[in-house]
Amino acid sequence: MNVYVRDASLPADKPALMRFIAGSNSFESQWESDRRLDAALPEEFLAELVARAKAKRGRLFVADDAGTVVGWAMCYVDQHETFVREEERPFGYVAEIFVEEALRGRHVGRELLKACEDHFRLLKVKTVIISALCANVRAVRAYTAAGYTDYAINLRKLL
């Protein structure tokens, strides 16, 4: 395996990115019944993510294995609320990360995460936030191993 991370090239990488969006929602649907699984989702969500990356100093990265795209990550800069000190408000947010199931556990996700972190370092952003579903224990373990620690807990109640 000779995987390297590069910027996504649109429209060439679009089919892979759409496949990853569908794969991510399908994977998460085992825990969350609110995930869209319809055929229109990948196109709609990819357009939204590309627009968000452009508006918020973001990037879309892909993991390339000898010409085959096997994973991706999308990140952008966001802001904390006004109650946070001004110099601490900007933060990097890793919004999407997905690796083909056959390559999970081979540090492809870690390389994608590193690309996002390097992007934020270039922008002089000091904090990075990533989220995971509580039930996705494997992702939580991977992010913890990469140096991420608990920051906030979102609680929800279904009515």
Give the tens place of pLDDT for each residue, 28-62: 999 999 999 999 999 999 999 999 999 999 999 99
User: Could you tell me which of 94, 80, 99, 100 has the C-alpha nearest to residue 129?
Assistant: 94
User: Which tokens go with 124?
Assistant: 């002089």
pLDDT tens digits for range 102-122 = 999 899 999 999 999 999 999
Query: What does DSSP assign to residue 58?
Result: -
Number of domains in the chain: 1
Does residue 47 belong to any structural domain of this protein?
yes
- The whole-angstrom separation of Cα 46 and Cα 49 is 5
What is the pTM for the complete model shown? Answer: 0.92
Asked if residue 19 is part of any domain, the answer here is yes
Compute the mean pLDDT over every residue in the chain, rounded to the nearest whole number. Answer: 94
The span from the first CA to the last CA of the chain, in angstroms, equals 47
Instruction: Tell whether 154 is covered by a domain.
Output: no
Q: Binning pLDDT at 50, 70 and 90, where does residue 79 land?
A: very high
Percent of the chain at pLDDT > 70 equals 99
For position 7, which CATH number holds?
3.40.630.30
